């Protein structure tokens, strides 16, 4: 039976990682919740962001916290373009068509990454990755704390945007009532693209943070996509706090499962939880009733 | 003899009472129209009869047996067919195949279902279009398809939900003729929700008026048209006689 | 089916039956692969194309079917012909459980798809820890002499496997053709088009959706058994992986969901495409890992964008085989 200190450390680490997961899921929640597109390429986008951070670090010694800015901007543009150019006509098409479109995009993304970077694991090496803060017997990895902080800050920024800016409210209007939004003159196509761009930017930030915590390989994509969906559904579609909360829940349960069972079993919890939530509380733990 | 009898049925949605203690009766072989302003609760009544949801209280009897709480497919098997206010054709299937689906309610064999479906299509004037995809039909034809499909299930009672909406007066008259014939020759009992008064006055032998979830008048068309309560709430707003 | 279609189908049938007589082992193995994907794609098509339920976790049934029959063979010495039935029953039970949970609780569309993915993933990780089936290290069947045909244990030359999968694929085609023309077939299409309207016409949608799931999972189980005894090794990471599930559905989607020949055409196009790409790239000396899949992705993208109903409907019209 592991000691309380060990458990506490593991839980804290899981919580901090969970916040980064939460940010990634927030991006999906925004996309799925507003544009209603099942972004099957979400995890692949995350992986691309991680590679971007690796590349910028390798070329310019850019700390991921600084690399975040260019990567997020590029991702925003890319997301906007993808929605406006590629995905928009698919909104009225049957669900499986949409799915397959993004599956195709995901396949292309994963394998282009494979072609460019090869299959071996890559990472960044910054000094503070080896340091930690000590509070009593608990160790807080500096990298993890900073990453979690960035995730929180970005989420907060997004909250404020949606709650207090006109554009944010316009986007929420589209999500609530597509036709009504059009009737009052909102440019829905542009707002959808904007939303996809914002969601992509979230993923960009999350990816740049994640590379501080784990190594990246091209095959991480599908796992992250699933994880994002699990978190969004558990936390509740349409609930931004839900995404963060779900992220923390998954982060902590993953960490604990890794401690008490085998490390490879950690994702099983997430899936079991997903199945239970889908069956008994499909609106998620914090979501609005469907 | 009542074919359909609703006894004091009520339905609330999140605290809002949509239908309150409504009772109505449809005699065997009769044609009854359920009218009332928008939001009066007509479709809610229909949906309770058709099994989409169960009434909160009250009973619904069909041929003397209780049907409240049954599933929509069980209601159809029992002999009640229905159309939808917003038509729901099987867009990817041909017109004939749409009706065959309905015809399978009474037979397991494709040949028999196909014959039955063909006959009904001819009767409704859709025969020449039988091999076209349902998605290519105009609205009036879609409405006729919807009716044909419901008829293919060989109902004893047909529920028509605003089937005349969007039809031109001549098209409306054609539909009325079809229903009159089905009622006179085949003994089909009909309960219809309708806003188009032209059709109501031409078809219905008995009218029930619903307002704010309650029945405020019932009687023959002549009686209802003169009823002060009805005139006050409904006929003052919009008439197309 | 019009006479043109009948002729084409007969010609195809003759060619397929005679193939091993004039083709080398390489062609036979490619043909076996095509037929395998045609078979399992057809099985998936029953659930999606017929009943409209998008399953993205079909690798679950392939894997469980494979593992059940293989484990029984390796650990208990039970011949595949008996193990086959156990595999089918187990997979049908799994399908029934998933279907029941989904339909009872009203889970559909993308949520249903995610549910199927969750089950497949859960099982993948689970099998990593089951010792009786070899865990993550894998389960291996002894590869006996390939020249001798041991039908009882389903070991033999490539031609034997080819004929087996040909029979399965042909059987699946026949079953699906028969189903489509039956009352169940019409009812499924109705459910797929508009479930509410279907109910109003007397269709017990729950029952028919369940039947589609049961048939689909049973057929997929059989493909799993074939897979196990053809490839002779099983790894949870591979056989339950989501890429397997996606592979399964690529054929029907490219060929045409809900059609009879879509899955077969799709399987053919994909396999031939994949092989040609490899050949062309090898010719130019390009050996980059992942480039083949990029082409896959691009083809899929093109089909989804420009031929949403798949290749078969357009091709069928051009060939003149559809009734007009």
Q: With 80 as the cut, is the pLDDT of residue A267 above it?
A: no
The chains found to touch B (3+ Cβ pairs under 8 angstroms) are: C
Question: Is the minimum CB–CB distance between C24 and chain A shorter than 8 Å?
Answer: no
The 8-class DSSP code of residue A288 comes to P
Contact yes or no for B93 and C190 at CB 8 A: yes
The nearest CA of chain B is from the CA of C283 a distance in Å of: 45
Q: What distance in Å separates residue C63's CA from the closest CA in chain A?
A: 17
**Given A95, A262, A272, which is nearest C110 (Cβ)?**
A95
Q: Collapsing DSSP states into helix, strand and coil, what is residue A52?
A: helix
Mean pLDDT lowest among A232-241, B87-96, B107-116, B230-239: B230-239
Cβ distance B46 to B93 under 8 Å? no
Report d(CA C2, CA A22) in Å as an integer: 57
Q: In this structure, what CATH number is given to the domain that contains residue B167?
A: 3.40.50.300
**Residue B135 in contact with partner chain C when CB distance is under 8 A:** no
Residue with the larger pLDDT of the pair A230 and B233: A230
Rounded Cα distance, C87 and C28, in Å: 27
Number of helices (H) and strands (E) in chain C: give both, helices first: 14, 2
H-type alpha helices, chain A: 4-30, 42-60, 64-81, 95-117, 142-164, 166-176, 178-183, 188-210, 220-235, 240-260, 266-280
Cβ separation B89–C197 shorter than 8 A = yes
Read off the tokens for B153. Answer: 């299930």
Which chains does chain C touch, 3 or more C-beta pairs < 8 A? A, B
Q: Is residue B135 part of a domain?
A: yes
Q: What angle do CA C48, C195, B85 make, to 5 degrees?
A: 145
Q: Residue A290: its pLDDT value, please?
A: 43
Domain that holds residue B69: 2-235
pLDDT for position B51: 93
Q: How far is C205 from chain B (nearest CA, A)?
A: 8
Q: Select from C55, C49, C53, C83 the least CA-distant residue to C68.
A: C83
Q: How far is A5 from chain C (nearest CA, A)?
A: 28
In a domain, B241, yes or no: no
pLDDT of the residue at C148: 65
Minimal Cβ distance to C290: which of A103, A114, A280: A114
Q: Does position B238 have pLDDT exceeding 60, yes or no?
A: no
Across the range A230-247, mean pLDDT stands at 86
A42-91 pLDDT tens trace? 999 999 999 999 999 999 988 889 999 999 999 999 999 999 888 888 87
Q: CATH topology for A4-280?
A: ABC transporter involved in vitamin B12 uptake, BtuC (1.10.3470)
Test mutation, A31, A102, A264, A268, chain C, max C CBs within 10 A: A268
Q: What percent of the residues of chain B are helix, what percent strand, and what percent coil, each to the nearest 5? A: 40, 25, 35
Segment (H or E) for B220: none
Using the predicted structure, report yes or no on whether residue A270 has a pLDDT greater than 70. yes
Structure tokens at C315: 């091709």
Q: Which residues contact B75 (CB under 8 A, 6 or more apart)?
A: B49, B50, B51, B67
Q: Which residue is it, tokens 């689906």?
A: B101
The rounded percent of chain B whose pLDDT value lies above 90 is: 70
> Residue ranges of the domains in chain A?
4-280
Residue C196 lies in a domain: yes
- Tens of pLDDT along A186-200? 888 888 999 999 999
How confident is residue B114, by pLDDT bands cut at 50, 70 and 90? very high
* Beta carbons of C66 and C123 less than 8 angstroms apart: no
- B237 pLDDT higher than 60: no
Beta strands in chain B (DSSP E): 2-13, 16-27, 31-35, 57-62, 65-66, 80-82, 157-161, 189-193, 206-211, 214-219
Burial class (CB in 10 A: 0-12, 13-18, 19+), A25: buried
Over residues A7-11, the mean pLDDT reads 89
* DSSP β-bridge partners for residue B133: B94
Tens of pLDDT, residues A97-123: 888 899 899 989 988 998 899 888 898
Distance from the A135 Cα atom to the nearest Cα atom in chain C, whole angstroms: 36
Q: State yes or no: pLDDT of B117 exceeds 90.
A: yes
Are B113 and B103 a contacting pair, CB within 8 Å?
yes
Q: Is the dihedral of CA B68, B73, B77, B81 positive or negative?
A: positive
- Domain annotation covers residue B95: yes
For strands B31-35 and B206-211, give the pairing: parallel
Mean pLDDT, residues B63-78: 93
Rounded to whole angstroms, the Cα distance separating B118 from C113 reads: 38
Closest CA to B100 of B84, B120, B129: B120
Stretches where chain C sits below pLDDT 70 are 1, 144-149, 322-324
Please answer yes or no on whether C194 and B90 come within 8 Å at the CB atom. Answer: yes
Strand pairing partners for B61? Answer: B5, B66
Residue B240 domain flag: no
Residue of A93, A111, A282 lying closest to C308 (CB–CB): A93
Task: Find where tokens 């459980």 sit.
Answer: C97
Cα B49 from Cα B51, distance rounded (Å) = 5
Residue numbers in B near C208 (CB within 8 A)? none
Question: How far, in Å, CA of C77 to CA of B117, rounded?
Answer: 55
- Whole-model pTM: value is 0.86
| B9 against A287, higher pLDDT | B9
* ipTM of the shown complex: 0.90
Question: Is B touching A (3+ C-beta pairs, cut-off 8 A)?
Answer: no
Question: Is C210 inside a domain boundary?
Answer: yes
Contacts of A237 in chain C (CB under 8 A): none
Domain that holds residue C237: 20-241
Interface of chain A toward chain C, CB-CB under 8 angstroms? 38, 93, 95-97, 99-101, 103-108, 110-115, 118-119, 218, 222, 226, 229-230, 233, 262, 264-265, 267-268, 271-272, 274-275, 278-280, 282
Q: How many domains does chain C have?
A: 1
pLDDT above 90: percentage of residues in chain A: 36
Average pLDDT value over all residues in chain A: 87
Is B105–C196 a contact, with Cβ atoms under 8 angstroms apart?
A: no
Whether A115 and C291 lie within 8 Å, measured CB to CB:
yes
Beta carbons of C201 and B101 less than 8 Å apart: yes
pLDDT range class, residue A139, cuts 50, 70, 90: confident
Q: In whole angstroms, what separates CA B66 from the centre of its chain?
A: 19
Looking at beta carbons, which residues of chain A come within 8 Å of C107? 278-279, 282
To the nearest whole angstrom, how far is the Cα of B88 from the nearest Cα of chain C? Answer: 6
> Measured between CA atoms, how close is C185 to chain B, in angstroms?
10
In this complex, do C290 and A111 lie within 8 Å of one another by their Cβ atoms? yes
Residue C111 sits at the chain A interface (C-beta within 8 Å): yes
Contact state of C294 with A96 under an 8 Å Cβ cutoff: no
Residue C94 lies in a domain: yes
Sort out which chain A residues have CB atoms less than 8 A from C293's CB and list them.
Answer: 107, 110-111, 114
Nearest CA to CA, how far is C75 from chain A (Å)? Answer: 25
Q: Which two tokens stand for residue C232?
A: 């002779």
Q: Looking at the DSSP assignment, which residues form a beta bridge with residue B216?
A: none
- Under an 8 A CB cutoff, do B113 and C196 touch? no
């Amino acid at each position: 039976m592991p000691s309380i200190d060990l458990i506490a450390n593991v839980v804290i680490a899981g919580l901090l990682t969970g916040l980064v997961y939460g940010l990634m899921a927030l991006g999906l929640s925004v996309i799925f919740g507003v544009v209603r597109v099942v972004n099957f390429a979400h995890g692949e986008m995350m992986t691309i962001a991680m590679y971007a951070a690796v590349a910028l670090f390798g070329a310019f010694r850019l700390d991921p916290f600084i690399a975040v800015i260019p990567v997020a901007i590029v991702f925003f543009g890319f997301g906007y373009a993808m929605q406006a150019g590629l995905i928009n006509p698919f909104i009225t098409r049957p669900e499986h068509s949409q799915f397959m479109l993004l599956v195709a995009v995901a396949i292309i993304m994963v394998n282009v990454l494979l072609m460019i970077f090869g299959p071996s694991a890559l990472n960044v090496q910054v000094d503070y990755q080896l340091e930690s803060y000590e509070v009593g017997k608990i160790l807080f990895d500096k990298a993890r704390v900073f990453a979690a902080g960035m995730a929180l800050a970005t989420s907060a920024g997004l909250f404020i945007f949606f709650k207090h800016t006109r554009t944010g409210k316009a986007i929420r209007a589209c999500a609530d009532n597509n036709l009504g939004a059009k009737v009052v003159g909102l440019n829905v196509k542009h707002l959808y693209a904007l939303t996809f761009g914002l969601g992509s930017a979230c993923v960009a930030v999350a990816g740049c943070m994640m590379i501080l915590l784990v190594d990246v390989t091209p095959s991480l994509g599908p796992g992250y996509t699933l994880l994002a969906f699990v978190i969004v559904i558990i936390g509740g579609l349409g609930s931004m706090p839900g995404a963060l909360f779900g992220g923390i829940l998954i982060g902590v349960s993953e960490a604990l499962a890794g401690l008490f069972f085998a490390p490879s079993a950690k994702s099983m919890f997430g899936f079991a939880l997903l199945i239970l939530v889908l069956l008994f509380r499909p609106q998620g733990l914090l979501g609005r009733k469907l | 003899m009542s074919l359909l009898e609703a006894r004091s049925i009520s339905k609330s949605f999140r605290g809002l009472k949509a239908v309150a203690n409504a009772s109505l009766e449809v005699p065997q072989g009769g044609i009854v129209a359920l009218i009332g302003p928008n939001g009066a609760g007509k479709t809610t009544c229909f949906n309770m009869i058709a099994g989409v949801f169960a009434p909160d209280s009250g009973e619904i009897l069909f041929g003397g047996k209780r049907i409240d709480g049954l599933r929509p497919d069980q209601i159809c098997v029992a002999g009640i067919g229905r159309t939808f206010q917003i038509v729901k054709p099987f867009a990817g299937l041909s017109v004939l195949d749409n009706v065959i689906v309905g015809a399978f309610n009474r037979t397991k064999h494709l040949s028999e279902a196909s014959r039955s479906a063909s006959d009904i299509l001819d009767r409704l004037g859709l025969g020449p279009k039988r091999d076209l995809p349902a998605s290519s039909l105009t609205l009036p034809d879609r409405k006729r398809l919807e009716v044909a499909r419901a008829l293919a299930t060989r109902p004893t009672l047909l529920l028509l939900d605003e089937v005349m909406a969007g039809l031109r007066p001549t098209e409306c008259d054609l539909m009325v003729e079809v229903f009159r014939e089905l009622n006179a020759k085949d003994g089909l009992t009909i309960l219809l929700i309708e806003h188009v008064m032209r059709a109501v006055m031409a078809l219905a032998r008995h009218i029930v008026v619903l307002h704010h979830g309650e029945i405020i008048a019932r009687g023959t068309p002549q009686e209802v048209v003169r009823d002060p309560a009805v005139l006050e709430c409904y006929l003052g707003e919009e008439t197309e006689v | 089916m019009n006479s043109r279609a009948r002729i084409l189908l007969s010609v195809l049938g003759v060619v397929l039956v005679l193939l091993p007589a004039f083709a080398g082992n390489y062609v036979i193995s490619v043909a076996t692969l095509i037929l395998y994907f045609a078979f399992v794609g057809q099985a998936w098509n029953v659930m999606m194309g017929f009943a409209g339920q998008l399953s993205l976790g079909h690798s679950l049934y392939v894997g469980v079917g494979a593992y059940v029959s293989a484990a029984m063979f390796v650990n208990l010495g039970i011949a595949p012909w008996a193990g086959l039935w156990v595999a089918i029953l187990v997979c049908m039970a799994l399908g029934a459980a998933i279907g029941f949970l989904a339909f009872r609780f009203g889970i559909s569309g993308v949520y249903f798809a995610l549910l199927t993915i969750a089950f497949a993933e859960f099982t993948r990780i689970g099998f990593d820890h089951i010792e009786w089936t070899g865990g993550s290290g894998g389960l291996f069947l002894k590869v006996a002499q390939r020249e001798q045909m041991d039908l009882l244990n389903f070991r033999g030359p490539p031609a034997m496997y080819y004929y087996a999968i040909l029979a399965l694929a042909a059987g699946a085609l026949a079953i699906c053709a028969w189903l489509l023309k039956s009352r169940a077939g019409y009812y499924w299409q109705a459910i797929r088009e508009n479930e509410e309207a279907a109910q109003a016409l007397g269709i017990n949608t729950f029952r028919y959706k369940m039947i589609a799931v049961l048939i689909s999972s049973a057929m997929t189980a059989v493909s799993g058994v074939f897979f196990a005894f053809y490839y002779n090794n099983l790894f949870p990471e591979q056989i339950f992986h989501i890429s397997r599930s996606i592979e399964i559905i690529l054929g029907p989607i490219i060929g045409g969901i809900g059609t009879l020949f879509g899955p077969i055409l799709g399987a053919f196009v994909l396999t031939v495409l994949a092989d040609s790409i490899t050949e062309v790239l090898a010719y130019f000396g390009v050996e980059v890992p992942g480039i083949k899949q990029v082409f896959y992705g691009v083809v899929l993208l093109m089909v989804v964008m420009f031929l949403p109903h798949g290749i078969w409907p357009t091709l069928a019209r051009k060939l003149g085989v559809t009734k007009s």
